[in-house]
């Protein structure tokens, strides 16, 4: 079984089978205190992109360890869809996203509006809007703009802020919440 496919079982297939089992059998600690309460022993991220049509639903962290293959898929999924540039996404941001999602007790995946932004994309967006920072954490792979249709901007921002893992911006007029792993702060309405 040198290539991992001789009997129809791949490493990715085993990982997904384990992840599916673990979601239902492992305990989570939604009321845990401290950083990223709601993260639990297993961290899962569920998102889709309206721009690319892609979906991601995976466990990326189990009992203190990130799963390399899952993390690589997260990096690819959160790429700059305009330029197709992939950047390492700071996993602290993904942890905040996952913990906030757990606190909301929703099965709905996030809609990812913006993850990594290349400098070119950020400059283009800045030319169109005053709300885009010149040195945006999106360009460092440390931020995401997200939406849940089943939850309000207020609900989503409160859940993210409760994690105390970084910045949370409310953009009610555009119906999304910005989450990052920078300094703890909030803004917007």
Whether residue 27 is predicted with pLDDT greater than 70 in this model: the reply is no
Residue 11, pLDDT > 80, answer: no
**Mean pLDDT over residues 51-64, rounded?**
94
Pick the residue with more confidence: 16 or 62? 62
Q: Please tell me whether residue 180 adopts helix, strand or coil conformation.
A: strand
> Can you tell me the distance from the alpha carbon of 139 to that of 120, in angstroms, rounded to the nearest whole number?
10
- The pLDDT tens digits for 141-153 are 999 999 999 999 9
pLDDT at 40: 56
Interatomic CA distance for residues 19 and 60, integer angstroms: 9
How many of the other CB atoms lie within 10 Å of CB of 19?
18
Separation CA 181–CA 141 (nearest Å): 10
Integer Cα distance of 95 and 107 in angstroms: 17
- Across the range 16-26, mean pLDDT stands at 42
Q: What percentage of residues in the chain have a pLDDT greater than 70?
A: 79
| Whole-angstrom distance, CA of residue 101 vs CA of residue 28 | 13
Of 105, 124, 189, the C-alpha closest to 153 is 189
**Burial level of 182, CB count in 10 A (0-12/13-18/19+)?**
middle
Tokens of 172: 């009610």
Predicted pLDDT of residue 134? 85
Ordered by where they begin, the domains of the chain are 11-188 (3.30.1380.10)
Is the confidence at residue 72, as pLDDT, over 80?
yes
Distances (CA, A) of 134 to 7, 18, 22, 142: 52, 42, 41, 14
Strands (E), 49-118: 55-62, 65-66, 110-114
| CA 127/CA 111 separation, integer angstroms | 24
H helix count then E strand count, the chain: 5, 8
Classify 85 as helix, strand or coil.
Answer: strand
């Amino acid at each position: 079984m040198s290539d991992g496919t001789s009997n129809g079982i791949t490493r990715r297939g085993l990982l997904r089978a384990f992840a599916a089992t673990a979601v239902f059998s492992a305990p989570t600690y939604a009321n845990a205190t401290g950083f990223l309460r709601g993260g639990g022993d297993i961290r899962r991220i569920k998102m889709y992109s309206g721009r690319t049509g892609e979906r991601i639903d995976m466990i990326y962290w189990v009992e203190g360890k990130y799963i390399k293959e899952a993390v690589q898929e997260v990096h690819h999924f959160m790429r700059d869809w305009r330029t197709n540039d992939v950047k390492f996404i700071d996993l602290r941001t993904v942890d905040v996203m996952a913990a906030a999602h757990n606190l909301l007790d929703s099965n709905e995946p996030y809609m990812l509006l913006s993850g990594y932004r290349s400098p070119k994309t950020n400059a283009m967006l800045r030319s169109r809007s005053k709300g885009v920072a010149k040195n945006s954490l999106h360009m460092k792979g440390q931020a995401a703009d997200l939406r849940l249709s089943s939850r309000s901007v207020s609900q989503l921002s409160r859940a993210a802020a409760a994690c105390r893992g970084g910045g949370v911006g409310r953009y009610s007029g555009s119906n999304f919440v910005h989450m990052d792993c920078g300094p703890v702060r909030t803004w917007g309405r």
